[in-house]
Chains A and B, each alone.
Chain A
Amino acid sequence: MHYHSDSPKELNIASAAEIVQQIRNRVCRNTSRVFAVLMVLQWVGAVLTAFIISPKTWTGTTSEIHVHVWAAIFLGGIITALPVGLALAYPEKLLTRHIVAAGQMLMSALLIHITGGRVETHFHVFGSLAILAFYRDWRVLLTASVIVYIDHLVRGYYWPQSVYGVLTASPWRAVEHAWWVGFEVAFLIVAIRQSNREMEQIGERQSQLQSVNIKIEAEVLERTAELKASNKQMETFCYSMSHDLRAPLRGIRAFSQILAEDHGENLNEQARDCVKRIGDAATRMDILVLDLLQYSRVSTLKFSPEPVSLSRITNEVIRLLSMEIQDQKATVTTDSDLGIVLGHEATLIQVMLNLVGNALKHGKLGVTPVLHIRSESRANHIRIFVQDNGIGIAPEYQQKIFEIFERIPTPGRNTGTGVGLAIVAKSMERLSGTFGVESTPGTGSTFWFELPAVTSVIASEDLEAKPALTIHG
């Protein structure tokens, strides 16, 4: 398809004339194909007809193959060959259409001969004209009419008896015979002109529609680019702001600590409590800012997915959380080979860190946390589960907890920043993975995420599966 292009940035729009030309080409292609099949079939039909009607010619008791049979095979074959060849090689060319029209009319003449001038066979001419009208080109019908006229004129001159049944015939008899062809052609031309007008209207409408579509598309692209730029600015702003917020927080924490340690004896009980609260609040805010920075990093990080060993990242996470595991006297077990997925190692460590950290944080009071990490293969994917025996999550919170700043209200407990599971959700979105939770309040929760499995053999030693691990706090 060819389009105009006013400038490199402008989208291309096909003109109405070009669309009409495309439709014309398609119509010609299809019609030429129809004729390619039809002409071969009618040639076979002509040969069979000749064999059935006049297989042999006789002289007394001797016979030989009838001339009709030879004519059907060879003359019919020659008449058919060129139009069919052109229809297949150059289906859209004007010349092809005219040769097809001429060939079809010559085939009509041959068929009339072969069938012994049967009136019914003359309908082949009229039928052919109707099919030629499929080209929607009136000039083709003129070629066909001229061939019919010339055939009658020449035969009327040299063999008048074969055409008109009389020994001498006026040239006007040819006109009379051609008149009936002209009669049909006239109506077909009217129909073709009407069809072409409709085709032009369709072209005009399609061009307008295309123009509108392209304008809308351009507008959408422009708005999308604006939105992307705005998002980028916002992310950069958030990152900078979060990062810059940590410096004054560090100051507040440091000075409140100095105040408590160096001047604590000069303060009364209430003032010391206030100083402690200032320090705790600054610590919580620092954690929140860190989480937000992490969330922002996950959202903006550029990476290419690579094979990541789930066993390795799990062991790394257990190592990082060993202090907490020991403090809580928790038991953490993992399966021997958790599999290899397509992902990003640092991001997946963060995801696992959040899930295992949450499981340790939300244990039942007075119950030793027991965690089990396992995996399952599911149709080219691997799903990894982090199962705990904690307090569980009520069904109404199971969706919400993955949204940023959403927390389950639990009296007397540190409920976290509400960013950890949002980081899990955002990470899975970035890695084209899925995630979820199955939980029964009071029994425990099983968080999971799923990523594409890497099935090919990874030679790297680093990716090799590690043996099953059990950590007791």
Chain B
Amino acid sequence: MFRRHKLLLLIILWGTITAFGLHSLMTYKGTPGAVGHTPETWPHNELIANPSAKPLLVMFAHPRCPCTKASLGELELLVAQAKDRFAAAVLFYEPENGSAAWSKTASVEMARSIPGVRVIIDRQGAQAKRFAAETSGHTVVYSRTGQLLFSGGITGARGHLGENGGFDSVLKLVRQDASPSLPRKTDVFGCGLFDRCIITQTAQRN
């Protein structure tokens, strides 16, 4: 009897710890990263020209963030499902003293392998700051006239592939069959693009 009680207690403890562990994991994966105030109109910059023929999608990414592979996976799916309906570019953050090895990662290679997607190295994250992107995987879509159509993430959780609201919104926007109910802003799940001190300095300047 005593042994049975001990076993029952052990099973309850096991179940509780496992449930707590999975809950913590879900909480971590479901906690969005920081998102700044994205400009409503296309901010002029020297790296990417203002699109005139097609809507333009720009993704800001950290080359070493493992979660970004899920965002790039979703981007690949978008390109496959709405081919030639939009132009796309992925800007990989490179810190001030970044070595050549910094951007030689599987994520950069993966982005380069997506047809029609331009891969740009964003030195010191100048463009990301201009677009107020702070989390890897942050995606913005601007119309041909330079109006902000969408800002947010295109994954449902951190590093998690699968159906999500951001993906659906972007797909419908570029196909020009978006309904008003679709979200124009979504949470971004990924690693921080900048060191914490840089984020603080940027916030103070703004």
Partner of B25, one of A57, A67, A119, A161: A67
Cβ–Cβ < 8 Å partners of A119 in chain B: 161
Say whether A159 faces chain B, with CB atoms less than 8 Å apart.
Answer: yes
State which size class the interface on A falls in.
35 or more
Q: Which residue of chain B is the closest to A115 with respect to CB atoms?
A: B161
Expressed in whole angstroms, the minimum distance between the Cβ of A125 and any Cβ of chain B is: 15
CB contact list, B28-47 vs A, under 8 A: 28-30
Q: How far is the CA of A61 from the CA of B125 in the complex (A)?
A: 12
Stretch at the interface among B11-19, B83-91, B110-118: B11-19
Report yes or no: B25 in contact with A71, Cβ–Cβ below 8 A: yes
For A59, what are the chain B residues with a Cβ–Cβ distance below 8 Å? 191-192, 194-196
Q: How far is the CA of A53 from the CA of B11 in the complex (A)?
A: 31
User: Residues of A contacting B73 with CB < 8 Å?
Assistant: 116
A8 within 8 A of B: no
Interface string of A48-69 (1 = CB under 8 A from B): 0000011111111111001110
Chain A 154-168 per-residue mask, 1 if CB under 8 angstroms from chain B, else 0 = 010011011011110
B70 near A60: Cβ-Cβ < 8 Å: no
Partner of B21, one of A56, A74, A166: A74
Contacts of A66 in B (CB 8 A): 66
Question: B21 near A71 (CB under 8 angstroms)?
Answer: yes
Tell me, yes or no, whether B138 is within 8 Å of chain A by CB: no
Q: Is A79 an interface residue (CB 8 A)?
A: yes
Number of B positions contacting A (CB below 8 A): 45
Contact check: which of A63, A67, A117 meets B160 at CB < 8 Å? Answer: A117
- B95 interfacial by beta-carbon distance below 8 Å: yes
Nearest A-chain residue to B197, judged by Cβ? A60
Chain B residues with CB under 8 A of A109: 22
Most chain B CB atoms below 10 A, which of A61, A68, A110? A61
Is A40 interfacial (CB-CB < 8 Å)? Answer: no
Minimum distance in angstroms from A97 CB to a CB of chain B: 13
Q: Are B62 and A58 in contact (CB under 8 A)?
A: yes
A60 and B164 form a contact (CB under 8 A): no
* Interface status of A99 (Cβ within 8 A of chain B): yes
* Chain B hits for A274, CB < 8 A: none
A contacts, CB < 8 Å to B: 53-63, 66-68, 71, 74-75, 78-79, 81-82, 95, 99, 102, 106, 109-110, 113, 116-119, 151, 155, 158-159, 161-162, 164-167
The contact sample of 20 A-B pairs, CB cut-off 8 A, is A56-B64, A60-B192, A60-B193, A67-B25, A75-B21, A78-B21, A109-B22, A110-B25, A116-B73, A116-B161, A117-B160, A119-B161, A158-B26, A159-B26, A162-B30, A162-B157, A164-B163, A165-B162, A165-B163, A165-B167
Q: Other CB < 8 Å A-B pairs besides A95-B7, A162-B157, 4 of them? A: A54-B159, A56-B66, A165-B164, A167-B183
B interface residue numbers (CB < 8 A to A): 7, 10-11, 14-15, 17-18, 21-22, 25-26, 28-30, 62, 64-67, 69-70, 73, 93, 95, 98, 136, 156-157, 159-165, 167-168, 183, 191-196, 198
